[in-house]
Structure 1
Amino acid sequence: MRVLIADDHPVVRKGLREIVASEHDMIVVGEAKSGDEALDLAKKLDWDVAVFDYAMPGCSGADLVREVKRQHPGRPVLVLSILPEEVHAGQVFKAGGAGYINKGSANEDLTGAIRKVVGGGKYVSPAFAEKLATELAEGGEKPPHNLLSDREYRVMWLIASGKHINEIAAEMTLHGSAAAPTGSSNFRDSGSIDDTAKDKDYRMGGAILIVEDELVTQRLIAASLERAGYQAIRAASVEQAEAAIREVLPDLMLLDWILPGTTGMSFLRHLRSERRTREIPVIMLTGRSDEIDKVAGLEAGADDYLTKPFSHRELLARIKAVVRRRAPLLGDEPVEFGDLKLDPAAHRITAASGKISLWATEFRLLHFLMTHPDRVYSRGQLLDEVWGDHVFVEDRTVDVHIRRLRQALQPSGHEKRIETVRGAGYCFRANPG
């Protein structure tokens, strides 16, 4: 069997090549790092089956499958993805794909899928097949994304990928006003994305990305999360994590400190520097227990820090705590002191010098302090009021976030409002001396 593979990450291509090479009757005849290159190779080479990543530069996803099937109708296409079948499999099969397999599957599952589609069959995982059978037997409703037309689904996917409306229009060969599906509540009639949708990215409900290169630990954490009802997405390197994030933003990330070729700290700083990823909640996982390492992780942008080994119960408690304190403050009245104004409903802070940008935790902290001026709160009290009533975040965390808050307020001259009361805690001064 001659296999044509395409994936934009060299590590994944190498893994696919080794898996195929381990089979006596399979051989890789070509490798592509983008959808456009895959289309070109498909025309030039003799191949029996194509194995393509779902998200790649250029033509990708269902569009790539559809185009390959148009040009080579008798040859099967198997799609790989970091996400489970319920997210994209329906679109792949509608486009003519022969199978859909998760990148976390075992090697023998992948080779088995290749053999099945080459033999004329269709492939989905046994678990997904059982789920489909159950839904059909129970007469369950289709997921909302399966109710969209192909064109509407494509627009939704491009929005989820962080594309601007003009980029979507260009890619869909449309004018901007035609890019929006009729009647969609996420679009204005003018064709521009609604303000409430423009600054947000699609997030799977309960999706947690595990970035951990130790596969045993990775699998144990994934099993623990799945038992608790979360959708676990696994990545063994920064490259795999970036590929997963390109497909969909996770609700939370568990990030190992040491990764192949880099550190979790470096990757975290990169995430915090990008508009699309800066608000992803991140819990650092590490064997380092020294206070200086914990402070470094928090100052790099981590929401929490979990030292190995840890229990299933503690992991879930910390995840719930981070998600809870990351939840936005809605419906509250604006608070003002001089030219410093905090609007919780708009999640905006302004001063005479302009807008002040804060991460979610600092925003919650400042909001609490501004609504309780001239009152001193201990670290423990602030943890209970701002982080929530739990015992897993250390007192030192408060100091790190107070420092960040002061740094953000300094250009506007309001940093002196956050006062340290020696031996007692912190206080917001309505009229600082």
Structure 2
Amino acid sequence: MTNATEVTVPPATAVPAGAAVLVLEDGGRYSGRAYGATGRTLGEVVFSTGMTGYQETLTDPSYAGQIVLMTAPHIGNTGVNDTDMESRRIWVSGFVVRDPARRVSNFRAERSLDEDLVGDGVVGISGVDTRAITRHIRSAGAMRAGIFSGGDLGLSEEEQLALVREQAGMAGRNLSREVTTPERYDVPAAPGVERVGSIAVLDLGVKRATVQYLSEHGFDVIVLPASTTLDEVRGIAPDALFYSNGPGDPAASDEAVGLLRDLLRDGLPYFGICFGNQLLGRALGFGTYKLPFGHRGINQPVLDKRTGRVEITAQNHGFAVDAPIDGELDAPEGFGRVRVSHYSLNDRVVEGLECLDIPAFSVQYHPEAAAGPHDAFYLFDRFRTLVRDRAAQNGAS
């Protein structure tokens, strides 16, 4: 599978000492050194504020189509390993860092970050002022961009800028079909854990940690491609439904929204995270919109309205649900009462939805976050209890 960019990345080469340039669609140019594979890559440039967990960021399918800039200045010192991979490959379109590690120093490391970037054909740039670029994105918003190195440095500035501006933006793009599993796979409930039932996971860009934690909470996990139909899900007859995180614009995922509406009407308990929160919002009849620069990192403060507790969360999203954060609402699509359960303390963006008349809830952030934080891990227990109680009610009726 090729890297998720608008232009095919040339074959990877050895890590060079040559020049590279990051070009923004507003004409901004930042010169640095080539890092990872060389060539040309295009995508939406965004920044991630995590101080750790760069491997989890790179292998998170939610970052498909995006050039990720790390605000932490020193990246790569712990190397990479197979255990911390969140999916089968690196998904970012490009990688921007200030100071890549010159050597790996960690007992768990199996390879250097440079090796994996080259191996997966990820074009990057280092030696740029990431603080200045971050401040610019915070002011101007996430935008289309490109990284050019190797032979593509021979293109004129006008040609490079034209390539950046000709690529499709993130709005209106459905990227789930690019990152989803090609076929169903099953993970049984973990040994020694009380089995709750089976759960159908629609893979819109699911992370391995999600599947692992559902298994450890007593679910037989059935991971399904994003193209799965209503009849196929009903044929499986799961006890619960889960929509994963994923990349792209929720407004471009009408099939997944329609499937969710039908399964909610079937009474199937539902839990969604990140993209799954946005799709629940749309299934209930609310709109979604693109954020100026999104929430990406592992230090995002969120208020749980039910408990008044502040959670520090991991997030990666550029779109959000358009709903008032106060009071109860009637779902426009007829699913009864709904309320916003969580919201961001930075900008009051909706961070969670709770249905009061059907067994469904979702959050915009990542309770399965690796390498942390783990403030929101309780949500897996909450969902386990919801599914178990629902089964008990159905058995008694």
TM over 0.5: no
Higher relative contact order (CA 8 A, sep 6+): 2
TM-score of the superposition, structure 2-length normalised?
0.28
Bigger share in helix:
1
Bigger share in strand:
2
Q: Which has the larger radius of gyration?
A: 1
TM-score of the superposition, structure 1-length normalised?
0.27
